[in-house]
Amino acid sequence: MTDTSTAAAAFAPFEDLAAALLPHAEDAGDGAHDVAHLLRVFHNAMRLQATEGGDAQLLAAAVLLHDCVSVEKNSPHRAEASRLAADKATAILADLGWQPERIDAVAHAIHAHSYSANVEPVTLEARILQDADRLDSLGMIGVARTFYIAGRMGSKLYHAADPQGTDRPLDDRTYGLDHFETKLMKLSQGFKTDSGKAMAAERHRRLVQFRDLFLDEI
């Protein structure tokens, strides 16, 4: 993990909160869900919060702990990851003396952020966290994370004979490029905040551009 004090400073004005939470926050072995990911999601969330409103401290805590339990993408338990993270976050924040209602709000935001969990975010902070996290799956960062995760899972870049899945079922556990159609190209339609929708539209455009250029080269 990145040195905690150095990393925490990047989460200003919540550096003290970050210093307390970062030791619990991420799996050092997963470069797609590391401190750099947390910081990108934090920047996204603060940008959205500046326009949409909401409790910035609560949101910062939710960002810092949203991936505090790691479950690989190809695990049959993947859909449970955000619930497990919410449970862990509840215990961590209780130990720090947070009020129960604020802990519950953070836990809900964490539980609802996950695409695979399919939980509807009912608070503004939960909607912002979901949007902020999904923005990191779009654009060039989304491209990089997709192929990084494909490598971790031992997947191939694409199906040699049918890269677009025209005459075969899509299988994003075997082919990284399939993940664009099975998930990434759908993400921009599900954003919950107006600010998030605007940011997602541009990153979706970049994602499509990459996909098209990739196909042109093969």
> Which structure tokens are listed for 140?
């060039």
Q: How confident is the model at residue 1 (pLDDT cuts 50, 70, 90)?
A: very low
Helix 81-95 and helix 56-65: axis angle, to 10°? 120
pLDDT in tens, 48-107: 999 999 999 999 999 999 998 877 665 566 678 889 999 999 999 999 999 999 999 999
> Which structure tokens are listed for 146?
């997709």
The structure's pTM equals 0.90
Share of the chain above pLDDT 70, in %: 94
Determine the average pLDDT of the residues in 23-36. 79
Burial 91-125 (b: 16+ CB within 10 A, else e): ebbeeeebeeeebebbbbbbbbbbbebebebebbb
Q: By the 8 A CB rule, do 48 and 128 touch?
A: yes
pLDDT in tens, 199-210: 999 999 999 999
Q: By the 8 A CB rule, do 165 and 103 touch?
A: no
d(CA 12, CA 29): 25
pLDDT in tens, 158-183: 999 999 999 999 999 999 999 999 99
